Chain A
Amino acid sequence: MTAKIGYDEVEIGTELPARSFPLTRATLVRYAGASGDFNPIHWNEKFAKEVGLPDVIAHGMFTMAEAIQVVTDWVGDPGAVVEYGVRFTKPVVVPNDDQGALIEVSAKVAAKLEDNRVRVDLTAMSAGQKVLGMSRAVVRLA
């Protein structure tokens, strides 16, 4: 494992470069195919509304996959991630229009651990709502 960030370079509170991830219905169809999760709440508006959702929603695991990119881009080597966990607090609602939705992710170092590891706390927002809670990754730095 070869993280490009050194443990001694970071402090508690160090912010990682934030990113925004746009997505549309087409993104969800593609993710459904790649992940094998064909739950119709992620592509069928009629079905989503029948089960009480406001509209089609993104796969929680898609949001989870987007958010960790802020960490893996920062360290360079995705193999440096030793733990990653989230709580799915609110759905990312994806309307059937040209705009779709946006997931905005920010992250900062929350703790310095032993063995050159740090804990990074992530925040993921969409349409002004926090879509991931307790979102944390532990990463081994150089």
Chain B
Amino acid sequence: MALDQSFVGRSYPPTAPYEVGREKIREFAEAVGDPNPAYTDLEAAKALGHCDVIAPPTFVFAITFKAAGEVIADPQLGLDYSRVVHGDQKFAYSRPVRAGDRLTVTSTIETIKSLAGNDIIDVRGEVRDEAGEHVVTAWTKLVARAAEGA
């Protein structure tokens, strides 16, 4: 099913703040098997010039994807979420995410394309801290594979 092109350029209001916890960062770092002390040891993080432990580069995806999920679940858009796979992912950082951050995400639908029956949608998530300063932008490309026989 072709997606509604009028959604291109649409932005959604910022999400409620997500508070980044030290133990959540530790849990994530352990789950990806990354022993870098900047993620778990406050003194090590400070020695690198950070004011608290920082999160691994891909940690923020959990927050931006949840925000994107609210966008793509919009029934008017017409995306068949059960057929969606992750195509591309990119991040651009102003600074690393760190414990104590209260982050909000503003999502924008950048492009909608149809290619060989697949629906392709690019969502940009701008992540800002409590002071409104930019932390990271995440670009997520989702592909809804063509239904068989469609």
Interface residues of A (CB under 8 A from B): 1-2, 21, 27, 30-31, 33-37, 51, 60-62, 64-66, 68-69, 72-73, 76-79, 81-88, 134
Contacts and interface: CB of A to CB of B under 8 A. Distances in A.
Contact of A85 (B47, B48, B90, B95): B90
Contacts of A77: 38, 48-49
A81 B48 contact: no
Interface residues of B, number: 35
Contacts of B14: none
Contacts, number: 103
A66 B47 CA distance: 24
Q: Is the interface of B mostly helix, strand, loop or mixed?
A: mixed
Nearest to B145: A52
B117 interface: no
Nearest to A69: B34
A86 B34 contact: no
B61 A78 contact: no
B36 interface: yes
Contacts of B61: 35, 61
A60 B141 CA distance: 12
A82 B31 contact: no
A2 B46 CA distance: 10
10 contacts: A33-B27, A35-B62, A65-B34, A76-B48, A79-B54, A81-B96, A82-B92, A84-B57, A84-B58, A85-B139
